[in-house]
A and B are shown apart, each in its own frame.
Chain A
Amino acid sequence: MKDINIEKTVSSPEIISSYKHKTITIKGESYPENPFKFYEPLIEFIKEFIKIETSLLLSVELNYYNSSSTKVLYDMFDILDDSDLRVNIKWIYNESDELSLENGEDYIEDYPDLNIELVKI
């Protein structure tokens, strides 16, 4: 499997995967015009990853993201939740970002099997 290495832009985050270490990191701002298209390589990577691996650590640190990006994350978590993968997710949010905290809390409630940890910075 080929790892993903997408560079950050002004409106989209950096996405880095490490097949060797079983990690995916999403970091930056996320308001591209078409988030579904932007995140497609990551979704495809995850779909292949869950076929062959047993565990994953996903780290998400987004500052300012649009509602469509939130929707993409829900779709991504659905895929992970439906798989047999042992998943740990770090939801890293800024202390002043109440929306991000609420979204993290909602993800925890909606996906209890994904071991989502809230990390305040």
Chain B
Amino acid sequence: MSIKTFNQMCDLAQQKDIFYLTYGKITQHILHSVVVTAKNGVYNSHTDQKYSNSQTDSLTYIAIEMIQNVNKYRQDVEHGNHDLFLITTDDNITISTSNLSSKENKESISKSIDLLNSLDKKELRQYSREVMKQDSGNDNSAGLGLIEIARLSKHKIEYSFNQYAHDDNLFHFNMSVSL
């Protein structure tokens, strides 16, 4: 599955089995709601089998990082809020977010994700340790949250940027990971 645009993500939400969906401003309160909901059990919508505790743990960790990333890097606009958070469950658990992002963030996020996608699991773990041991405030590394997302995801992080409302400086940033 490849997330291309915000509209395609909305289409996906209608096609696939939704475990969790929220649209609007994603808050810390919503994050807590996701954590509590996941604790109650996550089920494969095709087989009705419960995903393992290990998969549920990974889902929760990824949700925490993705939602807090949206909160940290979201670009606010005058009219409305464009955050979207979606978890679908079928053969894989897929966690997706969409939010508005600035042009400056577009370049740094792309660079970070491309770097992380080039590393294998062992390299990601080592990279995470190196970044954790650096002094706080070092801007030359992929964000801690993105690193943890990459470590926990079964596949590469999928992402796209789509221009928002003919504004050269504003983009929908769409990200998706699968377990």
- Chain A contacts to B: CB under 8 angstroms: 10-11, 29, 31, 33, 36, 64, 66-68, 70-71, 74-75, 94-99, 102, 106, 110
Contact = CB atoms under 8 A, between A and B. Distances in A.
A42 to B, nearest CB: 16
The 8 residue pairs across chains A and B that have the minimum distance between CB atoms: A96-B53, A67-B144, A67-B148, A96-B54, A74-B132, A10-B32, A31-B64, A97-B57
Interface in B58-87: 58, 60-61, 64-65, 68, 71
Contacts of A67: 65, 144-145, 147-148
Q: How large is the interface on B (under 10, 10 to 19, 20 to 34, 35 or more residues)?
A: 20 to 34
Contacts of B53: 94-96
B162 interface: no
A98 B125 contact: no
B166 interface: no
Given A64-B35, A96-B53, A102-B125, A110 B133 contact: yes
B14 interface: no
B31 to A, nearest CB: 7
A75 B56 CA distance: 28
A74 B134 CA distance: 9
Interface string B119-150: 00000010001001100100000001101100
Given A33-B71, A96-B54, A110-B129, 4 more contacts: A66-B64, A70-B132, A95-B53, A99-B61
A33 B32 CA distance: 12
A118 B129 CA distance: 18
A11 B151 contact: no
B37 interface: no
Of residues A33, A66, A70, A75, which shows the largest number of chain B Cβ atoms within 10 Å of its Cβ?
A66
Given A98-B54, A110-B129, A70 B35 contact: no
B70 to A, nearest CB: 12
Contact of B60 (A36, A64, A70): A64
